[in-house]
């Protein structure tokens, strides 16, 4: 059943005229183990947020991902021991979907380093909205991850890399009637691809959907998703996150990040033998 807030925005879900959607993503055929992580504090302390996400942002996202027969989902939240991101959990996670905001400074340094290590060893990472400033992203990106922001704007999200798998099945643009403005300059390293670019009614633009590679791990940062608006109930946004999970899923996963390897004898010496 559609969330009641979604019907308010029904006009925003229409495919833009004269620009057909991209073909649906080609599925991998393997089960993808996903952990959806959320602070789960806004929903407990702010009534407007609780009305939109009564079971938490994590359960909203987990709910639509569970409809995909190739995905199994668990959830974790800040108040769990080790934030629910234990060594055992991360070792059994193909893709981590991560949303945080108000407790970034309180997030454990040890857990952030643990997540970084698993990404470098091949675990996929989908980081949403204000998770750009998480300890995890600052560790992985090596920059300040700062940006400009303003509450209460309107966004038009454009596909700027239509050949990318994350953009498959997504219209040429998506109108988001209410969203927190994120604007440039966004202090990130050069992305592998900028899949989506956001334009805001106040005049700002933003690299809203960026991919990165760190070690063997694939990362997708996706800007939409301020907690005060029902953005994760939008079908197009759900499609993008689902596509991102499939794209980030590892084809190779190690027990530890890549390291230097001594080669003796050389490849040529082995060939001669």
pLDDT at 12: 45
What pTM did the predictor assign? 0.88
pLDDT surpassing 60 at residue 6: no
Q: What is the mean pLDDT of the chain?
A: 89
Predicted local confidence at residue 8, as pLDDT: 43
Rounded mean pLDDT, 12-18: 47
| Mean predicted confidence (pLDDT) in 143-170 | 96
> 241-255, pLDDT tens digit by residue?
999 999 999 988 888
pLDDT tier, 137 (very low <50, low <70, confident <90, very high otherwise): very high
Dump pLDDT digits (tens) for 25-56.
555 557 999 999 999 989 889 999 999 999 99
Three-class DSSP category at 63: helix
Give the whole-angstrom CA distance, residue 128 versus residue 208: 10
The class (CATH top level) of 4-142+210-254 is alpha beta
pLDDT, position 17: 47
Q: For position 195, what pLDDT does the model report? A: 98
Concatenated DSSP letters of 67-101: TSTTEEEEEEETTSGGGG--HHHHHT-SEEEEE--
**Arithmetic mean of pLDDT, 123-143:** 97
């Amino acid at each position: 059943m559609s969330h009641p807030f979604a019907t308010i925005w029904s006009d925003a879900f229409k495919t833009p005229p004269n620009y057909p959607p991209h073909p649906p993503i080609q599925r991998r055929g393997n089960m993808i183990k996903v952990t959806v992580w959320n602070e789960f504090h806004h929903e407990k302390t702010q009534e407007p947020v609780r009305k939109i996400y009564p079971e938490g942002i994590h359960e909203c996202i987990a709910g639509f991902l569970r409809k995909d027969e190739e995905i199994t989902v668990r959830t974790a939240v800040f108040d769990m021991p080790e934030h629910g991101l234990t060594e055992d959990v991360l070792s059994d996670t193909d893709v981590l979907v991560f949303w945080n905001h108000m407790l970034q400074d309180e997030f454990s340094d040890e857990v952030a380093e643990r997540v970084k290590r698993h990404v470098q060893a091949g675990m996929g990472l989908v980081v949403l909205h204000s998770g750009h400033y998480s300890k995890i992203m600052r560790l992985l990106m090596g920059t300040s991850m700062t940006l400009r922001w303003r509450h209460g704007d309107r966004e038009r999200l454009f596909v700027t890399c239509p050949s990318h798998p994350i953009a498959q099945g997504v219209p040429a643009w998506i109108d988001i009637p209410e969203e927190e403005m994120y604007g440039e300059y966004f202090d990130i390293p050069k992305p592998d691809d900028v899949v989506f670019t956001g334009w805001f009614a106040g005049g700002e633009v933003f690299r809203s959907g960026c991919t990165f590679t760190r070690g063997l791990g694939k990362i997708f940062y996706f800007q939409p998703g301020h907690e005060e608006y029902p953005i994760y109930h939008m079908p197009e946004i759900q499609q993008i996150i689902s596509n991102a999970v499939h794209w980030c899923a590892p084809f190779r996963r190690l027990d530890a990040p890549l390291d230097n390897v001594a080669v003796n004898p050389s490849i040529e010496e082995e060939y001669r033998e």
